[in-house]
Each structure stands twice: as C-alpha cells, then as structure tokens.
Amino acid sequence: MELSHFPFLKNLKDNRFFLLAGPCVIEDEESPFKIAEKLNNICKSYDIPYAFKGSYRKANRSRLDSFTGIGDEKALNVLRNIKKEFNIPVVTDIHATEEAQMAADYDVDILQIPAFLCRQTDLLIAAAKTGKIINIKKGQFLSGASMRFAVEKVQQSGNNSVMLTERGNFFGYQDLVVDYRNIYDMKQCDVPVVMDVTHSLQQPNQTSGVTGGKPELISLISKAAIAVGSDGLFMETHPNPAEAKSDGANMLRLDLVEPLLEQLIKIKEAVSL
C-alpha cells in the first residue's frame, strides 16, 4: 500500500492505526473546536495519525424536521478554521457533484462518499478531480470485493488517493451486521481500509423516524476490526450523545475515547509482532 498519496499517514507506524473522528454534524460554531482539541491531544500522546470528522450538512435524514446543519458555508468555515488552529486534516461528507469542489475550496482534506452513494459514478469522478483524498464508505447492500469498482472509478479519473470504509451490511429492515471478511476483501484493492465503529452499530428505519443504535458494542467492534487488520478507525463522538443533534444513538461518549484507544493500541501491537 502506497502511503505517499496520504500525507497525514506519512508517519504511520506498523504498530499503530489512524483515526477519523468527531461529531456527526457541525452543530454550532464552538463545540467542534473543543472536540477537535480533545481528540487531537489524545492522538498526539499515543502517536496516532488523526483527522477531524464533521459533516457540514446531513442530507440523508429520515424526517423532514430532522436537524441537517447550521448552513453550508458557516459549517465549512468551521472545518477550515479547525484545520488551521490545530494543524490537522479534516473530513466531511459530500452528496452531489457540485459539492465536491465547494468542499475542496474550503480546504477540506478528505472528501467522504456516503455509503448510499458509493456507486454514483458522477459523484466519484467529481470528487476524484479535486485531487483530495477520497474516503468511500461501502454500501450496506454491497460486498467488500465489489468495492474495487468504486476504487477504479476514482483512480481512473486520475486520483490515487482513495480509501475504503466498512460500515456493516443490512440485516433485515432495522439492523446491521459486520462481516469482517469485507476488511480483508477491500484490502486487496491495495488502499487503506477503515472500520466505521459507530455507524456499523446503527439500527435504521425505526418507526419513530429516528435511527437507533447499540453504542455499548463500539469497543467490541473496534477490537475485532484492529485484530483482523483494519488500517484505521472511523468513529463519531460527542461530549453528551443524548443531546447530539444527529446520530446520538450510536455515538461514543467523548470521555470514553482515550481508554478505548489504549486498549486498541495493545491489540495492534500484539498483532504486529
């Protein structure tokens, strides 16, 4: 795997993984900085390459009255300022072709393709042409092996900076399961492979119109992912998930991140021997 296409991973050690983490969505103009500072300090102390994640807008909501964001430009400016203040890369989702260049213009480092949109050719091409790192989330309806076609769309559009993220597969109408064979299969694409340890525990399509989740299993999912060879982890975290404006039911509480990372480092060091 060629890491020169991923500047923030240039110092990634064999006994470490990288982390993409932050709130589900930019909820306001103050709290994301506190979350970024906390996570950045933790990752620095444990020598973990880190990128701050925050969606500038949530386009896939169950109900019309669900919170979607504070405004695109305002939220993108928050991301740009977090990047400047902490000197860390930032990650955000894009949902349509015109959003790719808009996010790139705000100095977003990693453009994330949502799982439901991972087959959208025009979106992948538009993202690729920005020259940014592209993180493609595997569709809940796809196998890991089939994601090579998404990778090829980006690479054949002139961009070799592409990553893949596993986030579970549909299991009936209201649950997801993780097939860890997908991590192995996606690694055959010779790109960094990430495990989304929070969205993979979602329970979608609830009758309330609000997605549920099982955050008590985040530790379990994370440990298994590191043990089977995930290069990085994606997680959403919030100081008080119960008050989060999006996906609070499957977030990891912010004060639980550090003890979890400590455990994961021990597992990574063991499997790296």
Phi, psi of 22 (to 5 degrees): 160, -170
pLDDT recorded at residue 3: 85
Amino acid at 257: V
pLDDT recorded at residue 2: 79
Report the candidate in 117, 29, 119, 131 with the shortest Cα–Cα distance to residue 71. 29
pLDDT recorded at residue 64: 81
Q: What is the DSSP string of the chain?
A: --GGG-GGGTT--TT--EEEEE-SB--SSSHHHHHHHHHHHHHHHTT--EEEE-BS-----SSTTS---S-HHHHHHHHHHHHHHHT--EEEE--SHHHHHHHHHTT-SEEEEPGGGTT-HHHHHHHHHTTSEEEEEPPTTS-SGGGHHHHHHHHTTT---EEEEE--EE-SSS-EE--THHHHHHHTTSS-EEEETTGGGEE-S-TTSS-EE-GGGHHHHHHHHHHTT-SEEEEEEES-GGG-SSSGGGPEEGGGHHHHHHHHHHHHHHHT-
CA distance 180 to 222: 11
pLDDT recorded at residue 206: 64
pTM: 0.95
pLDDT recorded at residue 97: 98
pLDDT recorded at residue 209: 63
Q: Sign of torsion, CA 136 141 144 145?
A: negative
Tens digit of each residue's pLDDT, the chain (273 residues)? 778 899 999 999 999 999 999 999 999 999 999 999 999 999 999 999 999 999 999 887 677 877 888 999 999 999 999 999 999 999 999 999 999 999 999 999 999 999 999 999 999 999 999 999 999 999 999 999 999 999 999 999 999 999 999 999 999 888 899 999 999 999 999 999 999 999 999 787 665 666 777 889 999 999 999 999 999 999 999 999 989 888 778 899 999 999 999 999 999 999 998
CA distance 2 to 191: 8
pLDDT recorded at residue 194: 98
